[in-house]
Structure 1
Amino acid sequence: MTPIHFGTDGWRAIIARDFTYANLRMVAQGIAAHINSGTGPRKSVVIGYDNRFMSPEFAQECARILAGNGIKVHMLINPAPTPLVAFAVRHLECSGGIVITASHNPAHYNGVKFIPAYAGPALPEVTQCIETEINRVAEGAKIYEIDLKEAAQLSLIEEIELDNAYLTHLDKLLRREHFKAKSLKVVVDPMYGAGMGFLEQYLTRLGIEVKSIHNHRDVMFGNIVPEPVERNLFDLRRAVVSYNADIGLALDGDADRFGIVDQEGRFINGNLVIALLLDHFLKTRTVRGPVVRTVATTHLLDRIAKLNGLQVIETPVGFKYVSQAMREYNGLLGGEESGGLSVWGHVPEKDGILACLLAVEMMAYSGKSCAELTEELYRDYGRLVNRRQDVLFTQGREPLLKERLSAFRPKTISGLKVLSITDQEEMRWSLADDSWLLARFSNTEPVLRIYTESADLQSLEAIEKAFCEALEINN
C-alpha cells in the first residue's frame, strides 16, 4: 500500500488506485482519533464535499466513522466550498472540519482536507498526528463505525445548510455601498466546482448583471483541470469579451482559489490581483496590521506595505503558514501567488469567493478598469513582473534535479549579482534590482515549480533561461 501522506493542503490521490474506500476509512479513523485525543467533553465536526465523482458518498462514509467514534457530525447538505466549511467550523464552534475534495487537481483525483478548530489549514504537527493514527489503523487498530440512521437517532449526525450564513458573514467584510458606485457587468466561471451559485447570488442581490458559465456539476470538469489559471480559462476570457463584461471571475474546484480576467479577456495573475486588493483595502478600510505572504509571492506587496508603514511577514510556501501568521500577528491581508487570499476579520483560510467579490468591489468603488488600476498601482509603487513555470519531469529524475539545484550557487544570474541563497524547503536566489528566483518540488506531482520576479519581462526571461540551462531542463 502506498503510504497515506498529507501534502501542502490535505491528502490527494487517484480514485480507485489509492483513493479507495479502504484508505478513506483509515483516514477518517485517523482524524477521529486525533479529535478525540483533544481536550473538551463534547467533540463535533463539520463535513463538506465538492462536485467530484463520488464525493457525496465518500463524505457519508466519513460521517459513519466519525459518528462511530462518538463525534457529533454536522453534514452540509449541498456541495460546499472549503472556505464555507472553515466558516462553519468557527460558526458552530466545532472541533474541526473535513472536506472531501482534491481542490484543483485533475478529475481522476479525490482527496481529504482537515480543518482544525481554528478554522484554517492544518499545520504539519496536526497532519503528522493524523498520519500516526492512520498508521496505527493500517497495523490493525480498530475502525469504529455506525449506521447513519442509528447515528441520527442518537443525535450524532444532523444535516445543515449554512450558505446564507456564510454570505451574511461576507457582508461584514465587504462594503455594499461601494458596489453601487458604478454599474458593472460580470461573468462568473465556477469551473463546475463547489463554488457554483455563491458569486452569482451575492452579486445579483446587489443589482449587478451576472452571466455564468460552467455552472453545473460535471465530474470531468469539462475535460480541463479545475485550476483558475490562464491556460484553463479560455472560455471565460472569450465570454467576457462576447458579453462586453467589465470583469471575469473564476474559482477552482473547491472555491478556495481565484482567477481574474479583465474586460479585454486578459488573465491577471494572482500576484497582481493580491497587490491590487491590498492597495484597495488600504484606501477603503481603517484597520491596519501586518501583510503576510509566502516566499514565492510578489515583493510588490513589500513595496506597498513599506510605503504605508506596515510590517511584512514572509512564510514558507503553503497557505497553512500564511494562516498561522494571520492568526498569530493579527494580519491585515494574507496571500499566496497561486490565488489564495484571506483578510482581517475572516476565517484564516484562503477564500476565492471573497477575493472575487473584493475585486468587483474595487472596480465599482474606483470606477476604473483593471488595466487602469494596474497602471495606477505601478505608478505609485513601481513595476514588477513575475511568473511561475511548472516543469514536468519523468519518474526517477527528481534526485538528479535536486543535486543540480543544490550545486547551483553562481555569483551572478543573467548579469544580476546574487545577493543571497536560501536553501530550505525550497531554494531561493535573491538578486540585484529586486529580482529573485525560487525553485521547489511539488508535494503532489512530479513537477519542479520555478518562480521568477524582475523589473520587466525581458529580465525575467533572461533569468529563467540562465537557470534552466544550468539545470539542463527545458523551459
Structure 2
Amino acid sequence: MIKFGTGGWRAIIGEEFTKENLVILAQAIADMMQDEKISHFGFVIGYDRRFLSDKAAGWFSEILAANGITVLFIDRVAPTPLVMYAVKNFNTCYGAAVTASHNPADYNGIKIFTRGGRDATEAVTGKIEEYIGKIAKENIKSIAFEDGIKKGLIKIIDPMNDYIDTIISMIDTQAIKERKLKVLLDPMFGVSKTSLQTILVTARCEVDIINDRHDTLFGGRLPSPSSHTLQRLRDMVVEKGYDIGIGTDGDADRLGIIDEKGNFIHPNSILAMLYYYLLKYKGWKGGVVRNVATTHLLDKIAKAFGEECYEVPVGFKNISSMMEEKSALLGGESSGGLTIRGHIKGKDGIFAASLLIELLSITGMKLSDLLNEIHGQFGKFYFAEADFRYMDKDRERLVRVLYEEKRIPDFNIKIKNISYSDGVKIYFESSGWIIVRFSGTEPLLRVFCEMNTLEDADGVSRKMKEFLKL
C-alpha cells in the first residue's frame, strides 16, 4: 500500500518500503507523465544517506528510463532542497528525493516535486495513487541502469555548485566575513555538510563539524534537530565558545539552533527572528505564512509592520502555495522548515542557516540579545508540544471523539472559536491556542499549545491529554 502524507510517502523498510512497491510507484508516475504528454521534460531524482536510498533511486530510474522518460540522476548524496532546486533549474515537470526526512532510521520514502521545485500538492499525489491502483505487474517496464546511461535515457548531473552559488548570491557574504563567526555544525549524520560548510567557509566563518560520518542508524538518535537530540552540539558550543550551533535534519530541509549560551532556540523563535530581521534590518516588505501549529508571535510582528500573517494547514506545499498567492516574504513551520520569497518553493535548512549567519553579522548582536529585543516589543509566548503513538483501535476512538462527537475538555478559559480545517484547533478569547492533529507521516497524534505563560501552556496541554486518555 502506497499512501502519501503531508511529507510524501514514508514507510518502514522491508514492510511497505520495498523494491516491488518502488517500481510500482515509478511505473505509475511514468504512466501519468505520458498521459499528461510531458514525458519529454524529463525527471530529476536524488537521494540521501538512508539505508537503500541510493539503490532505490537507481530502481526508480530504471523504470522511468524504460518508459522513455529521461532521468536526470544526481549521483551523490543530496539534500532535499538541492533536488528541488534541480527540478526548478532544469525545468522538469516532476522530480523526487528518496528520503524519509526526520523519521526513524527504519523508515525510508519518496518526496515528489512539481514544476518550479515545489512539494507535490494533494491533487498530484492523489492522482499518482489512482495510477498506482491501475498498475498490473506484467506491464511494468524496466531497463538496466548502465544500459539507460548508454542509451542517454539516464543522465548524471551534479547541480551542487549552482545551488551553493545561488545561496551565496542571496546573502551578504561581505558582512559575514567582517564578523568572523565561529560556527559548529551538526549534520546529524545527514547530507548538509558539503553545501553548508562550503557556504560558511566561503564567507570566512570558522567551521567545525560533528556527527558527519555515514551512519544509516543516525548515531542511534532520531535525525530531527531538537533540544534532546542536539545535546552534544549544545555542550560543545558552550565549552568551546562558538557563536552559534547549527543542526540539520536527515535530508537538510529543516534546522535546529543552539545559541551562544547553549540554549536551544525553538523553530518558532527562529521564524520570528528571521521575519523581524528581514522587516526591520533589511527593510523588506511582505507578509508571512505559517501553518496551524506554528507560533502566533508571527501575527504580532506582521501587524506591527503593517503586514499580514496567513494561516494554512500543515504541509509545506500549503505554505509555498499561499506565499505565491500573497507574495509573502517568509513562510515556515514549527518543525523547523522555512523559505523566503525568491528562493525555492520548499523548505531549505541550508539556506535558513546561511540567513541566520547573515542576521548575526548584520545586526552585530547575539542570538539571545535579538530574541530579547523581540520579546520586549511583542511579549513572550510559551510553547508546549507532545507526540503520542497510537494503535488502529485508538485512532478510531480519537476520530470519534474529536471529529464525530466534536467533544473537547473544559479548559475554564473562554473559547473564541474552533477550527476543524486541519485537526482540531481551539482559539482562546484572551490569547493562546491548542491544536490536536494526526501526523501525516507517522502513526502519531500531535498536541501543540501556545499560551502567555509556561504554566498555562502545560496546564491546557495536560487537560487535553487527560481528556483524550493519551
TM-score by length of 1: 0.95
Question: 1:446-467 deviations in whole A, cap 9, x for unaligned?
Answer: 3210010011111111211222
What's the offset of the Cα at 1:37? Answer: 2.6
Selected match of 2:418 from 408, 414, 421 = 421
Q: Distance in 1 between matches of 2:333 and 2:237?
A: 25
Aligned position for 2:129: 131
Percent identity between the two aligned chains: 38
What's the offset of the Cα at 1:221? Answer: 0.6
Moved more, 460-469 or 187-196: 460-469
Q: Distance in 1 between matches of 2:33 and 2:342?
A: 26
Aligned position for 1:334: 331
Moved more, 358-367 or 120-129: 358-367
Letter in 1 for 2:57: A
What's the offset of the Cα at 1:171? Answer: 2.0
What's the offset of the Cα at 1:469? Answer: 2.4
Q: Distance in 2 between matches of 1:267 and 1:453?
A: 17
RMSD across aligned C-alpha pairs, in angstroms? 1.6
What's the offset of the Cα at 1:234? Answer: 1.4
SS at match of 1:357: helix
Q: Distance in 2 between matches of 1:41 and 1:394?
A: 41
- 2:91–2:116 Cα contact (<8 Å) kept: no
SS at match of 2:71: strand
Aligned position for 2:36: 38
In structure 2, the CA distance between the partners of 1:178 and 1:434, relative to structure 1 (3 Å rule), is farther
Aligned position for 1:168: 165
What's the offset of the Cα at 1:355? Answer: 1.0
Q: Distance in 2 between matches of 1:41 and 1:105?
A: 31
Does 2:18 align with 1:12? no
In structure 2, the CA distance between the partners of 1:298 and 1:274, relative to structure 1 (3 Å rule), is same
SS at match of 1:289: coil
Match runs of 1:390-401 below 5 Å: 390-401=387-398
What's the offset of the Cα at 1:287? Answer: 3.8
Aligned position for 1:436: 433
Q: Distance in 2 between matches of 1:143 and 1:404?
A: 44
What's the offset of the Cα at 1:146? Answer: 1.6
Question: 1:358-392 deviations in whole A, cap 9, x for unaligned?
Answer: 11111122122111111100112221111221122
Aligned position for 1:216: 213
Moved more, 310-319 or 334-343: 310-319
Aligned position for 2:49: 51
Moved more, 452-461 or 284-293: 284-293
TM-score by length of 2: 0.96
Q: Distance in 1 between matches of 2:126 and 2:44?
A: 21
Aligned position for 1:263: 260
- 1:181–1:367 Cα contact (<8 Å) kept: no
In structure 2, the CA distance between the partners of 1:177 and 1:380, relative to structure 1 (3 Å rule), is farther
Q: Distance in 2 between matches of 1:301 and 1:10?
A: 27
Moved more, 382-391 or 272-281: 382-391
- 1:293–1:313 Cα contact (<8 Å) kept: yes
Aligned position for 1:148: 145
- 1:35–1:43 Cα contact (<8 Å) kept: no
Aligned position for 2:282: 285
Unaligned segments of structure 2, at least 5 residues: none
Could you list the structure 1 runs, at least 4 aligned residues long, displaced by more than 6 angstroms after superposition: none
Does 2:83 align with 1:97? no
- 1:411–1:418 Cα contact (<8 Å) kept: no
Selected match of 2:247 from 247, 250, 255 = 250
Q: Distance in 1 between matches of 2:284 and 2:263?
A: 32
Moved more, 404-413 or 230-239: 404-413
Selected match of 2:340 from 332, 343, 351 = 343
Q: Distance in 2 between matches of 1:70 and 1:51?
A: 28
Unaligned segments of structure 1, at least 5 residues: none
